[in-house]
A and B are shown apart, each in its own frame.
Chain A
Amino acid sequence: MINLVVALPAEARPLIAHYRLTDKTTRGGFRIYRNAGMSLIISGPGKIAAAAATALLGGCNSDAEQAAWLNIGIAGHATHATGQNLLAHRVSDHATGKSWYPPQLFDLATTTTSLLTVDTPENCYHRDLAYDMEASGYYAVATRFSSAELVQCFKVVSDNREHSTAAITAESCAQLITRALDEIDPLLGALSALSREHDSWHAAPAGLEQLTRRWHFTVSQQHQLAELARRWKVLVPDQPLWLDTLDTRKKAAEALQCIQQHLDSLAPGLLQATHEPGV
């Protein structure tokens, strides 16, 4: 699952069209657009709105194991030309001084920058970095739902020392995002692949539901079952989680013991791996 957090309708329109986010709902006053693998929420301007929208989207999509998150929007920059695409390697909040450092794992063409979230539109550009009004609110909340590697901020420069914020229109904003799609696409592709891979590590083995339907497991027993399921998936990968001897077990504790005994009896064989020798 990919979650997009976008401040303005003008920023969202090109993304909604490009990714065919045709399913539209309204939750808590926020408009959300979806397709099967992506959700986009329009937060409105400001970091508090961005934080609220991010929290709402995270809550709506809480089934997604580790969703990828991307905040997309326009930003000012002291020196970069308008239309320059930027990925934030540092997100700072001007009011609190707090900073976050989104890990940069991908080999992408997009230039990275420090991004400062301010409370009012920036017109002086004192420091050589990007200025926006949402990223810190979004980032602080999104990283409560997903690991930082899957949470990124993508900005397109809309204003600088030569071109003031006064010149920004809905039309120019939409055009900037449209032109940035050729760099947004590979970023989303990389994030999505990473998110899917992460989810695959934690997929439950087949047959687990059969067990949970048959016996009532206490919370503690559920943890034990999860651990046994993990081991099962590694040691008996081609078989669903079931043993014939479980048929006669009346209680969850007996079922757990039966599975554990079976797994403990399987001596770890040759460890299999794809190996990459070093230098």
Chain B
Amino acid sequence: MFSIIYIERQIADHPRTHEICARFPNATRVECDRYGEVFNPNAQNFRLQKRNPSLILAEKHKGRVLQAPEGYGLGGRNNYYFSHMLNCLYDCRYCFLQGMYRSAHYVLYVNYEDFENDMGTILAQADNEPCWFFSGYDCDSLAMEPVSAFVQHFLPFFSRHPQAHIELRTKSTQIRGLLKMTPIPNAVIAFSFTPEEMYRALEHKVPTLERRLQAMLQLQQAGWQLGLRFDPLIYQHGYQGQYRRLFQQLFSQLNNEQLHSVSLGTFRLPRGYFRNIVQLYPDEPLFAGAFSTENGMVSYPQALEQEMTAFCTRELLQHIPESLLFRCTLAA
């Protein structure tokens, strides 16, 4: 999978570094002082690098667990997000990562224990109030599980701290690890979907809709709480029929009474990220439509956005009660 693994010198002897490198015995190991030397230089092209990204093993020194933006959450008051990894195995054309990062290399922070300590501090300060920790912001939560053992490591922490809730957002079918564990009530495995036509056009390297649905069914049968995430909503001609068919396909097979939550989010990107992505993919039909820019964010024109949200909300409420539906309304 990786021909080169870059390794920060200070974690060259970390046990997790050794475990990961052992999985790729033929990879060339290149030491660096700090991962930013490899990851941050401006003269890099995300689209070109996505053809063959390398792995960077690093230590996350600060800013490990951050407060989630307002409007992001599932009903809780204390919402945080964290990323054990930067960049995603998949290549979804609407993804903000393409616009945010210059490099497509994967950065894996091996100091999981420091992340846990930070979460512990937050929990202690929250005085037993529930806290939500969202994973899957800078990467897919499950896609690299065979390499990262992220879920294997972190879920026991949440098992020990029932007031801490974790959302594992994913498009992956790497659920073997989860199926071997005893489900915990404070974990939600949240699968993201777009309609089949949009999946084919935009979600490169992502498992098929059907395979993700089968993974969900296996998890549901095993007792895991599941979420559905329709975020971002993508517009194209005929979107209404496409989303309707998607919802019917999902809800006709899933046990809706065992669903934790369903969330909707509109397509929006910071203007700078949008500009970067369009520069990378000037030929992408997704970016050829009319967009609106307001308060530094690029999105569909407001009327269209409202129409799409209203339509999808109406359709979803035919399948689920309103108490399960959350709308992600990120401010600029």
Contact = CB atoms under 8 A, between A and B. Distances in A.
A162 interface: no
Given A99-B37, A270-B197, A105 B43 contact: no
Nearest to B33: A99
Nearest to A106: B52
B97 to A, nearest CB: 16
Contacts of A250: none
Given A112-B28, A198-B48, A268 B200 contact: no
B51 interface: yes
Contacts of A89: 4, 28, 30
Nearest to A231: B288
30 contacts: A100-B41, A101-B6, A101-B32, A104-B3, A104-B52, A143-B41, A147-B48, A148-B41, A148-B45, A149-B45, A198-B48, A201-B282, A234-B285, A234-B288, A235-B285, A267-B289, A268-B286, A269-B236, A270-B197, A270-B201, A270-B237, A271-B197, A271-B286, A272-B201, A273-B204, A277-B205, A277-B206, A278-B204, A278-B205, A279-B207
Contacts of A198: 45, 48
B140 to A, nearest CB: 10
A201 B48 CA distance: 12
A182 interface: no
Interface string A137-161: 0000001101111110000000000
A112 B4 contact: yes
A141 B28 CA distance: 26
Given A202-B282, A234-B285, A235-B288, A267 B206 contact: no
Given A201-B283, A269-B236, 16 more contacts: A89-B4, A89-B30, A90-B30, A99-B37, A101-B30, A103-B44, A146-B43, A147-B43, A148-B44, A235-B285, A268-B236, A268-B285, A270-B197, A272-B285, A277-B208, A278-B89
Interface in B189-218: 197-202, 204-208
Contacts of B113: none
B238 interface: yes
Nearest to B174: A279
A264 B48 CA distance: 30
B201 A273 contact: yes
A194 interface: yes
A234 B290 contact: no
A236 to B, nearest CB: 10
A44 to B, nearest CB: 25
A114 interface: yes
A234 B290 CA distance: 13
B51 A105 contact: yes
A196 interface: no
A31 interface: no
A234 B278 CA distance: 12
B202 A273 contact: yes
Nearest to A235: B288
B54 A103 contact: yes
Contacts of A235: 285, 288
A275 interface: yes
Contacts, number: 126
B38 interface: yes
Contacts of A263: 288, 290
B244 to A, nearest CB: 16
A194 B48 contact: yes
A271 B52 contact: no
Contact of B173 (A144, A273, A279): A279
B49 interface: yes
Contact of A270 (B37, B173, B204, B236): B236
Contacts of B37: 99, 101
B82 interface: no
A229 B290 CA distance: 14
A147 B45 contact: yes
Given A89-B28, A234-B285, A275 B204 contact: yes
A46 B155 CA distance: 55
Contacts of A80: none
A114 B28 CA distance: 11
A276 B204 contact: yes
Most buried by B among A143, A146, A276, A278: A278
Given A99-B32, A277-B206, A149 B48 contact: yes
B24 interface: no
B322 interface: no
A234 B288 CA distance: 6
A197 B237 CA distance: 30
A233 interface: yes
Nearest to A140: B43
B284 interface: yes
A267 B235 CA distance: 10
Nearest to B275: A227
B326 interface: no
A101 B38 contact: yes
A13 interface: no
B236 A271 contact: yes
A171 B237 CA distance: 67
B204 to A, nearest CB: 6
A279 to B, nearest CB: 6
A231 B290 CA distance: 9
A22 to B, nearest CB: 31
